[in-house]
Structure 1
Amino acid sequence: MRRWLPALCAAALLSPALPARALVPYVYVPTSEELNDAGVNIAGAAAGLLRIGQIAEARRLGRLAVQLLPDDPRAWLVLAEAELRSSDGNNRSEQTAKAEAALARAKELDPKNAGVWFAEGSLNLRNDRPAAAEQLLKEGLRLDPKNPGAYFDLGNAQIKQGNLGAALKSFEKASGLRQNFWEAVNNQGIVLFEEDRRDDAIDRWRQAVEMSDGEAEPMLALAAALYANGDDSADTLGLAVQALIKQPDYVLAAFQEDQLWGTKLVAATQELFENEQVKGAVQRAKGLATFQSN
């Protein structure tokens, strides 16, 4: 049976070929202002991802942000923070070097930006250079004297140098500037216990447990301090068991020391672990612990 083409198709087939026409693709080139706005948005997105712990994605966006904003210290600071947070992984030395390079660029662009000094201080603290960290953090606090996180890092740098009195003041300043800053209150307890102010340490750890809704560190420290004061009640031993369930790494003295626990608190905790009612939880935690010291 003969098939009829639609009229339009038939006309196209029977018409003479049209001359070829060169196609010029239209590519939109954004203005510098639009690129700047995009860079700012990307840097903001990277900062947001850092806040919720999506470090790898934040690092990717941070690197894109500095390409769009090569002269903006804020973009370099976000990238530095992403690289710094990434330095806890397997390629620590490489990521640390990248963080240092980003911070150097940010400082070059804006030496009066307190955030640059804080980030550099944090980097030195992580790399076990507490004296350098202290000086950098103090310079940042001269520019921004109401930053609770910087006071917290400063206290940690001072603990590492054995300057407990100064560390206590820094942690108290941090908790005074930020409501429910349980980490700073917890670290006040660490200092106070080493200074043999056990009752004050216990008070701080009770506060930290309540503020943190039962984080492992203040729970275990509180249990150890109470036990050292002669309290071997079921409530005290239960705190230790719950803490080890939440974070098994705290069973290791090396991990406790990494969290800046002093010798007296570590010894008190090891004594607590000898209690028969806690030994089962201790053995389970040892099997689950993953911390490895550097």
Structure 2
Amino acid sequence: MPKLNWLISLIACAGISSISLPVRGQAVLPYLPKLETEKLESQGLQLLQESVQLIRFQQYDLALPRAELATQLAPENYEVWFILGNLYIQQEELAKGIHVLEKAEALAPDQEGILFSLGNAYFQQGKYEAARTKLEKGLEIEGNSPEALFDLGNTYLKLAQLDEAIESYEEAFAKDATFWPALNNVGLVEYEQSDRTGAISKWESVIQVDGEQAEPQLALAVALFVEGKTEKAIALGKAALKLDNRYADIQFLKDNLWGEQLIEDTKKFLSNPQIQEIVSTSDEATSEKKEEAEIPATP
């Protein structure tokens, strides 16, 4: 499954698409420090607006220093901490991101975007109970987020609550019929429950939704291979690995929540000589590209 870009969806969820700046009154206020505070906060929120725009263009390195400065200028505004925390997580600085998001939560404890983001971050840390708590609380406030439902499904899966995982995935897909990772993961769970027929049906449906995704194609190929439909399985497996040869890496599959039974069957499938041939070809092509990238340009 692809790594979901939480930043854009969470900004929308939190209502930060258009941050309102504080309005300055016409009258001259006698207390000068208050004027300075309002000015600093206004500058901080302007920086936050710039950061949000940069995030939309995926210019995270430029967005980060603006968000950091915004937290210094407007420390009582939860949005600045929310954006900064998500930027740290985007940069894979999980501990720092969680610490900042907890500051945002302290300022706005019932803001669902913060809860969803914390749940996602705790999941990445392997703190599945903490992830479940935040995601469930967020969904009590706003239950229409397929991304959050998907994350909750993944969390249930890690907690071995398989029925709850399927329910959460199916609810996510029901809310967005183009959100194929949710339906794909129902197949992953069903395969581990020895419901190969159900898993095959799910992956076939995913391919109908989006036929350019490697994961459901490879999973379906493995299942068909086990069923003895070797020719069709190999053709599908080759197509999948041409789309994304990372799925020939067992650790990559584990990172994408493939279960033990599917992993074992995938190892057998990948050992097939015809599949080995395309895996070797893909590895050689990847190595060549890496070597080309490392060759310094001629001055």
Same-fold call, TM cutoff 0.5: yes
CA 51–237 in structure 1, closer or farther in 2 if over 3 Å, else same: farther
Counterpart in the other structure of 2:19: none
| Equivalent runs, 1:178-189 vs 2, <5 Å | 178-189=176-187
Query: For residues 96-175 of structure 1, what are the structure 2 equivalents within 5 Å?
Result: 96-175=94-173
2:266 paired residue number: 269
Relative distance call for 1:110 and 1:262 in structure 2 (3 A) is same
Q: Distance in 1 between matches of 2:67 and 2:176?
A: 27
Q: What CA RMSD, in Å, does the superposition of the two structures yield over aligned residues?
A: 2.3
Name the counterpart of 1:56. Answer: 61
For 1:1-294, list aligned pairs within 5 A: 36=41, 39-87=44-92, 95-233=93-231, 235-285=232-282, 288=286
CA apart distance, 1:210: 3.4
Q: How far, CA to CA, are the matches of 1:48 and 1:108 in structure 2?
A: 25
Structure 1: where are the runs of 5+ without partners? 1-29, 88-94, 290-294
Supply the AA of the counterpart residue of 1:166: E
Deviation at 1:259, TM superposition (A): 0.7
Counterpart secondary structure, 1:56: helix
Once residues 219 and 44 of structure 1 are traced to their aligned partners in structure 2, the CA distance between those partners, rounded to angstroms, is 41
The alignment partner of 2:230 has SS state of: coil
2-structure distance, mates of 1:224, 1:45? 47
Give TM-score, length-normalised by structure 2: 0.76
User: Does the C-alpha gap of structure 1 residues 217 and 105 become closer, same or farther in structure 2, counting only changes over 3 Å?
Assistant: same
Aligned equivalents of 1:213 and 1:42: distance in 2? Answer: 41
CA distance in 1: counterparts of 2:240 and 2:56, whole angstroms: 25
CA contact 1:237–1:278 (8 Å) conserved in 2: yes
| Equivalent pair of 1:252/1:286 in contact (CA under 8 Å) | no
Deviation at 1:224, TM superposition (A): 1.0
Identity %: 31
Q: Following superposition, which runs of at least 4 residues in structure 1 exceed 6 angstroms of deviation?
A: 30-34
Shift of 1:48: 4.5
**Contact conserved, 2:212 with 2:243, CA < 8 A, in 1?**
no
1:65 deviates by 2.9
**1:45 Cα offset (Å):** 4.2
Contact 1:120 1:133 in 2 (8 A): yes
Aligned partners of 1:55 and 1:161: how far apart in 2? 32
After superposition, what is the alpha-carbon deviation per residue over 1:232-251, rounded to whole angstroms, capped at 9, x for unaligned?
12x43222123223322211
1:180: Cα distance to partner? 0.3
Change (3 A) 1:183 1:42: farther
- Preserved contact between residue 251 and residue 285 of structure 1 (Cα < 8 Å): no
Deviations for 1:197-249, whole angstroms, at most 9, x for unmatched residues? Answer: 2222122212223333411211211111121222112x432221232233222
Distance 1:45 1:182 in 2: 32
From the superposition, tell whether residues 105 and 194 of structure 1 become closer, same or farther in structure 2 (CA, over 3 Å).
Answer: same
CA distance in 1, matches of 2:151, 2:83: 18
**Separation in structure 1 between the aligned mates of residue 181 and residue 43 of structure 2, nearest angstrom:** 36
Indicate the structure (1 or 2) with the bigger Cα radius of gyration: 1
Offset at 1:192? 1.2
Question: Is the partner of 1:111 in helix, strand or coil?
Answer: coil
Shift of 1:77: 0.8
